[in-house]
Structure 1
Amino acid sequence: MTTFKLLATAAMGLESIVANEVKELGYETQTENGKVFFEGNERDIAKTNLWLRTADRVKIIAGEFNAYTFDELFERTKEIEWEKFLPVDAEFPVQGKSVKSTLHSVPNCQSIVKKAIVERLKKAYHRNSFLDETGPRFKIEVSILKDKVQLSIDTSGAGLHKRGYRLDQGEAPLKETLAAALVKLSRWTPDRPFVDPFCGSGTIAIEAAMIGQNLAPGYNRDFDSEEWPWIGQKIWDEVREEAEELANYDQPLNILGTDIDHRMLTIAEENAREAGFADLIQFEQRQVKDFTTTEENGVVVGNPPYGERLGEIEIIEEMIADMGRVFAKHPTWSIYMLSSMGRFETLYGQPATKKRKLFNGFIRTDLFQFWGERSKNK
């Protein structure tokens, strides 16, 4: 087994949650903006891809160096032992980004890195002609920040938010990774009731169910690195078998998703069925102001509509006020709402216990947290 420098990428604001996940899997971490670094071998690449709920991707850091000229970029890239990663028939598209750097032309940087890798591989594999690139895919990224170059190989393929259960979605879907982060931030445990009153296509409820039964989020999907010859199918099979043993399918769950749109509820039910939770998650057509329960110590996690047009904003403001009134009747419940509405607390009728800045895509939002009182029965 080889030890690699690995990188779990994170959406803005989720770095600490991703870092905690990586630590829970047994690794030491270092965190920068949008990046959580750790070390691991081939098996760890498979394990983190399968288990990380809130990370975007897992990458291998192939090389890091400073470059101020295209010649430097070419030569330093060529020095890296790419043949340790890429077989002779590897498909290796190169993507790039450059921020506050001398080498600011991204197309030129991508082209030079590609050419340098080709030259290295042709020499390593004793090839005079071109490389046909008909084999497994190794997506390479050249990232330059303040003249420091980082060359990485994406082990995930499709982003880790693509769990494989979402057959359809609404107009403004919440990424599965962010939905999982909201559930984790709520500190919900599967012995407590869980409600999403704006469930849409069911993503938050499904992510809660996956957490509640300790199901690996990547269990039912493929990854680019599954095709890499130096990792091998045996490792992937072992990691999946281990995930299957850790799953707690017998864990009872009390999860409810509600929405006013019956079309979205149909989509949510289909997605839950695809995820294997058809009998475990309830979906009902209901407005948030009609919420009622006799249970205690529950958790509400939701992403209410943001609204862009004037008429919509007024309706949403009224809905937030309704929410504050109805949840005030259930003081043992904890409420977690992701909203871009600056006046949320005023409309809700009480200050949040805690606020956390998060980004839903490019939209700046806050997670407003209203912690419930513990009931005397618990």
Structure 2
Amino acid sequence: MQDPVPVAAGPFKTILQNTSAFEKRVKRRISARPHVFFAVCPPGLGGVCEHEVSQVSPKAQEIFSNHDKISDIKVLPGGIEFKTRLKTACLANMLMGSATRLLMRFASFKADGFRRLEEQIKAVDWELYLPAETLPDIRVTTRKSRLYHSKAISDRISPILHDRLSLKDASRHHNTGPGISQTLMVRGENDRFELSLDMSGTPLYKRGIKEKVAKAPLRETLAFAILTRLGLSKKDTLVDPMCGSGTFSLEGAMMQCALPPGVFRSFAFETWPGFEKKSFAHARHRLMDAAGTHINTPNLPPILAQDLSQTAIDHLKQTCSGHRVFQRITPVCDDFFNMTPPPIKDSQGVVVLNPPYGIRLDKKNDISALYKEIGHKLIADFKGWRAAIISPGKKEFQALNLGLSTMPLFHGGLDLYTAIGRIGK
């Protein structure tokens, strides 16, 4: 008969007890409770973002086999507010294609002086939200508040966080991970302050796919919204004839295979004490497996990517070689005006163009004339296709002369006019 395993005693027993007590506090206060979250989205994408938020609940219930729902969805200036548990909000970061980042709103209080501000900051259980020995970057914005100097506010908050998070506590062991930073958002308005943590870290439009990009690339959030508006399905042939870095092609390939936008990247919340590593890994594997079924479907239509820049095409080829979901993309160095589109059935063709403008275009070029040529080419060769053409202004939009609807977008400091609809209808 084996000797019984001795019960832990002394300092080691104390560490185990403290660790267990801390984990119970995290579960009770953070993991088990619903919290308020905010999905930041670019101007013009509120409708797409709201729909995405509403679709997270069914996916979470399917993956986690629970009834964790998203509630209290509100469209607010700058994004979408909603309420759910942390685990579902973590999943939302991976699933959503139109949001720039997700914030966890965890404290709100009134403070009309620095003393009151410090009292409220000290009252927060910071160790339940952030990993030990990791001080967040503090970003402060104020409006119509007695406390208005952002640096002074940050200077009062920083030493409190230092005291609470920098202590080497043997009862807490958290892997902060290399290169993963944390950001605390402090927003003050009319003497009421709201504290939020950036869940995402690197903006969500950085999918973790591209290693090299062309000059002034289109953000993935905008490409996702445009393809969503066009109703891209796995039956559609996608043509991206001014592809640049291939944003439309890459987003389209993922959408057609139901591969989540954030499946290849990491997030700031992965170092939080309340992060459930095993359940998130399970969700990622489930989603990857489901996408694999689509990828292996025979006779998926092609994705044709084309650009005049050989460098851009070489970079896109390198990106496409990294995962089999992108190997359906065929990058070719050629002029859009030389392209003969492939035949399509039942109007199942989508063509998307992001022509050069701004810093991507030689100042000597007549941009209106370019858009007029694009319009002629689309009418001649792409009649019946669903199309989206990004233009930097109303004049260029009108030069297309295609009779399409407009989808307002904001990108790179510009208000863009995106022509969207069916060619020749």
TM-score range with shorter-chain normalisation?
0.7 to 0.9
Matching residue of 1:284: 332
TM-score by length of 2: 0.79
Distance across 1 between alignment mates of 2:358 and 2:264: 35
Answer yes or no: is 1:249 the counterpart of 2:249.
Answer: no
Distance across 2 between alignment mates of 1:264 and 1:99: 44
The one-letter amino acid of 1:345's match is F
Gaps (5+ residues) in structure 2?
1-31, 58-69
Matching residue of 1:130: none
8 A contact 2:135–2:165 mirrored in 1: no
**Relative to 1, partners in 2 of residues 1:313 and 1:106: Cα closer, same or farther, differing over 3 Å?**
farther
Distance across 1 between alignment mates of 2:312 and 2:77: 35
Answer yes or no: is 1:300 the counterpart of 2:344.
Answer: no
**Relative to 1, partners in 2 of residues 1:210 and 1:204: Cα closer, same or farther, differing over 3 Å?**
same
Matching residue of 1:48: 92
Alignment of 1:201-350 (within 5 A): 201-247=245-291, 248-251=294-297, 252-296=300-344, 297=347, 298-307=349-358, 312=363, 314-329=365-380, 330-350=382-402
TM-score by length of 1: 0.88
Give the deviation of 1:308 after TM superposition: 5.8
Q: Is the deviation greater in 291-300 or in 53-62?
A: 291-300
8 A contact 1:180–1:207 mirrored in 2: yes
Distance across 1 between alignment mates of 2:361 and 2:278: 57
Give the deviation of 1:278 after TM superposition: 4.8
Answer yes or no: is 1:355 the counterpart of 2:401.
Answer: no
8 A contact 2:103–2:197 mirrored in 1: yes
Q: Is the deviation greater in 245-254 or in 4-13?
A: 245-254
Give the deviation of 1:169 after TM superposition: 0.8
Distance across 2 between alignment mates of 1:244 and 1:205: 19
Give the deviation of 1:313 after TM superposition: 6.2
8 A contact 1:161–1:176 mirrored in 2: yes
| Root mean square deviation, CA, Å | 2.8
**Relative to 1, partners in 2 of residues 1:68 and 1:304: Cα closer, same or farther, differing over 3 Å?**
farther
Partner SS for 1:89? coil
Alignment of 1:18-97 (within 5 A): 18-26=49-57, 27-28=70-71, 29-97=73-141
**Relative to 1, partners in 2 of residues 1:325 and 1:240: Cα closer, same or farther, differing over 3 Å?**
same
**Relative to 1, partners in 2 of residues 1:345 and 1:118: Cα closer, same or farther, differing over 3 Å?**
closer
Identity in percent = 24
Q: Larger Rg: 1 or 2?
A: 2
8 A contact 1:307–1:313 mirrored in 2: no
Alignment of 1:44-193 (within 5 A): 44-118=88-162, 135=176, 138-193=182-237
Matching residue of 2:4: none
- The superposition leaves residues 234-280 of structure 1 with CA deviations (integer Å, 9 ceiling, x where unpaired) of 12212112212331222423211111111111111112222434530
Q: Is the deviation greater in 90-99 or in 103-112?
A: 90-99
Partner SS for 2:87? helix
Gaps (5+ residues) in structure 1?
128-132
